[in-house]
Amino acid sequence: MNDTFLKACRGEETDYTPVWLMRQAGRYLKEYQEVRSKVDFLTLCKTPELAAKVTLQPIDILNVDAAILFSDILIPIEAMGMHLEFSDKKGPVLGDPVRNKAGVDRLVIPDTEDSMGFVLETIRILRRELSDRVPLIGFSGAPYTLATYIIEGGSSKNFMHTKKMMYQNPGLFGALLEKITAVTIEYLSAQIRAGAQAVQLFDSWAGILTPYDYENVIFPYVKTAVKALKKFDVPVIYFANDCAGILKIVKKCGADVIGVDWRVDMQKAAKKIGKKASIQGNLDPCVLFAPKEHIEERVQDILNKAEGTRGHIFNLGHGILPETPVENAIAMVEIVHRLSRKK
């Protein structure tokens, strides 16, 4: 097996820098669009054969060093009892946002096999079909990020309702986070038992918090989740988006790998994280619109700046954009492999 990714996660020597792309299975690929044109988004997530199919597409097309389960971070929220819909205009819409005790009480801690068995079945298919070509990453939203969707009822600009609950009713907010943390741990544990060889926690909205609130209110749940997952023998990746202001807190989460977005300089991030964990990131997804020479320049810059880290997994600093020219994504992977081998 190509275990370069797993080695880099554990801080072991590798022949080159492994690379995968957040949202590597997705709309920028015509092969994905072909599958998606026949089913709606949620059906795609819930049909193991199709979810496995689109998970595999970028492995062949891009030559990346890891596969990541195709799914949506809101899947466990639906399993907790909320109505989930995807609107082309408004993005995800969750019915009846949770803003009081009755709402929190109503949320259930689901059995993963019963309510999200399709995710586990997708993983089982993938492990067979990958037949150890590259490792498979499972994932979940981090507890706080899932809480924002549950409270806002979808995406948000200012996350006012989330912060309102956090400031006005810290007890209720804590109870909600505790419940979600339990779900997250169980969900990722089930993914690992089904065959996921690494797991990533996406804290997509961590960056809208003050360092004060992130450290005192949110971070304890991150640590709890990471600690529970560490009892399995697979690397845990924690990605906090827009992390520049909280990276010195983030690095203490106990994860094997810290994912960083593009708004932080890789050298500064590496210095902050030190040898506590490997680092993943952090090319601006928009750099994939640049001419190839410029992509090469930017990849080289990040590789240089990641020198001396415990381990480096190259990635974008956020999900690849649907408008990205696929040939540039292919070129980027080739560039990472070529330039890092030279070392």
**Which of the residues are catalytic?**
23, 27, 36, 72, 149
In the window 229-248, what residues touch its own copies (CB under 8 A)? Answer: 242, 244-246
Q: Which of 72, 85, 129, 265 binds its own copies (CB under 8 A)?
A: 265
**Among 179, 298, 310, 337, which residue sits at the site for its own copies (rule: CB under 8 A)?**
298
Closer to its own copies at the Cβ: 129 or 301?
A: 301
54 contacts 35 by C-beta, under 8 angstroms: yes
DSSP calls for 183-210 = HHHHHHHHHHHHT-SEEEEEETTGGGS-
From the list 61, 209, 229, 303, which residue makes contact with its own copies (rule: CB under 8 A)?
A: 209
> By C-beta, is 122 or 145 nearer to its own copies?
145
CA-CA-CA-CA torsion sign (49, 45, 52, 183): negative
Q: Which stretch binds its own copies (CB under 8 A): 6-14, 55-63, 210-218, 229-237?
A: 210-218
> CA quadruple 194, 47, 280, 7: dihedral positive or negative?
positive
End-to-end CA distance of the chain: 23
H or E segment at 137?
Answer: strand 136-141
Burial per residue of 117-154, b for 16 or more beta-carbon CB atoms within 10 angstroms, e otherwise = eebbbbbebbbebbeeebbbbbbbbbbbbbbbbbbbbb
Per-residue contact flags (x/-) with its own copies for residues 97 to 126, judged by CB under 8 A: ------------------------------
Nearer to its own copies, 135 or 154 (CB): 154
Q: Which is nearer to its own copies, 21 or 119 (CB)?
A: 21
The answer to whether 150 contacts its own copies (rule: CB under 8 A) is no
**Using CB under 8 A, which of 37, 102, 168, 171 touches its own copies?**
168
Between β-strands 257-259 and 278-283, what pairing exists: parallel, antiparallel or unpaired? Answer: parallel
Closest alpha carbon to 269 in 260, 256, 73, 83 = 260
Listed ranges 21-29, 40-48, 105-113, 283-291: which one lies at the site for its own copies (CB under 8 A): 283-291
Of the pair 43, 210, the CB lying nearest its own copies is at 210
Query: In whole angstroms, how close is the CB of 240 to its own copies at the nearest point?
Result: 12
Identity (one letter) of the amino acid at 307? E
- Give the residue carrying structure tokens 């339990």: 182
Using the structure block, give the residue that is written with the tokens 């990722």: 188
Scanning 12-20, 92-100, 161-169, 173-181 for contacts with its own copies by CB under 8 A, the matching segment is 161-169
**How far from 242 is each of 89, 205, 235, 331, CA to CA, in Å?**
25, 8, 22, 26
- 73, 84, 286, 326: which one contacts its own copies (CB under 8 A)? 286
Nearer to its own copies, 201 or 217 (CB): 217
CB of 164 to its own copies, least distance (A): 5
Of 16, 86, 118, 289, the one binding its own copies by CB under 8 A? 289
Give the one residue of 160, 308, 338, 341 binding its own copies; rule: CB under 8 A: 160
d(CA 150, CA 154): 7
Q: What is the footprint of its own copies within residues 60-89 (CB under 8 A)?
A: none
CA gap 308, 62 in Å, rounded: 27
Instruction: Please state, in angstroms and rounded to a whole number, the distance separating the CA atoms of residues 307 and 343.
Output: 10
Q: Is 63 left (phi over 0), alpha (psi -120 to 50) or beta?
A: left
* Closer residue to its own copies, CB minimum distance, 128 or 294: 294
Query: Which residues of this chain interact with its own copies, rule CB under 8 A?
Result: 158-160, 163-164, 167-168, 207-213, 242, 244-246, 262-265, 268, 284-287, 289-291, 294, 298, 301, 317, 321, 323
